Structure 1
Amino acid sequence: MSDDFLNCFTILQQEFLVCITVHKARNLSVYNADTYVKVTLDKKVKQTKVYQNSENPYFNEYFVFEVFCSLNELLRLTILFQVFRHNLFRKDVLLGELFLDLATIWNQSGHSFFKKWGKLESPMGQQSGKSRGHLQVDLSIVTKNEPPAPAVFESHDYDDIEKLSRNIP
């Protein structure tokens, strides 16, 4: 196929589904905290429920973002994961954040990855260097022009954070 033919499809507006599962967080360095995850994509925000009293919360929540744009526009977007400590009487505290660009996910086999650990970074304006913990997520991009790839389960220890967080695309 010619490059002109392929470029034609990258500028056409179409509907994409960005599917996200927030599995769990580990090593948040806060004890007995009430935590939740906020997921932001293109000014659309979704949030997990607050997980009570844990340094290692297990969220297991699934979100779908519908995005209507061209493939070129989609590949410029980023997903922001923010882990917060919930405070009943004060403003919630941002513990760490993880940015993922959709171009990286799109370039993965099947436009997705499964149970990957991402290292939470210090929020903007806060002192870096201290470990903020890890967040385990699934991510996939689906379009009606391509059938979704079948799930491929590999024999990994999905809780081996140090090994698997280095493998996040």
Structure 2
Amino acid sequence: MHPLTARGIHATTTGLAAGLRHSPAAGRLAAAAAVPAAAYLTSGWTGLICGVLLPRLLLHPQLAWMSLLAEHTWYDPDTRAGTPAWVEAGRCLRLYPRNRALAHLAATTWLPYGDLHHYAHSAHPSIRWNYLPTLERHLDPPHFTPDALLLGPRSVARRHLTALQAPAV
């Protein structure tokens, strides 16, 4: 939930401001001014706040944060060794492996930064981005393929929660 906290919002706005200040392209600054202006001119304050500011400051960072958490099993205590593909098969996961419609929906909406090809890219980082979907079809599945994101015994949230709990002594 970090992006929705005061510190997260501050980090987002600081990062956006730094990106605009240090950007060599004047087009970025023009776009940063034109998009909010167009939203205000077409829909008033509602368009500016709900169509530009809230998504950019809260929604997009939260979705990016969720994609990072949902595509990894960082919390697992197991140390893995072997080929890069084997190590990444243990660290990464693939959401909705049995439902192409949900996988596509997640890839095009709430996982825009990872687009579910994170596993293929991590296992073979030198492969061009446009070959990743084909590569992913030929890779063995990751070690953990959850049945759900938030709810259920084989969900991503349950696995992370279990891994974060101290082992019973």
Category of TM-score, reference length = shorter chain? under 0.3
Larger RCO: 1 or 2 (CA < 8 Å, sep 6+): 1
Greater share of helix residues, 1 or 2?
Answer: 2
TM-score calculated relative to the size of structure 2: 0.22
Greater share of strand residues, 1 or 2?
Answer: 1
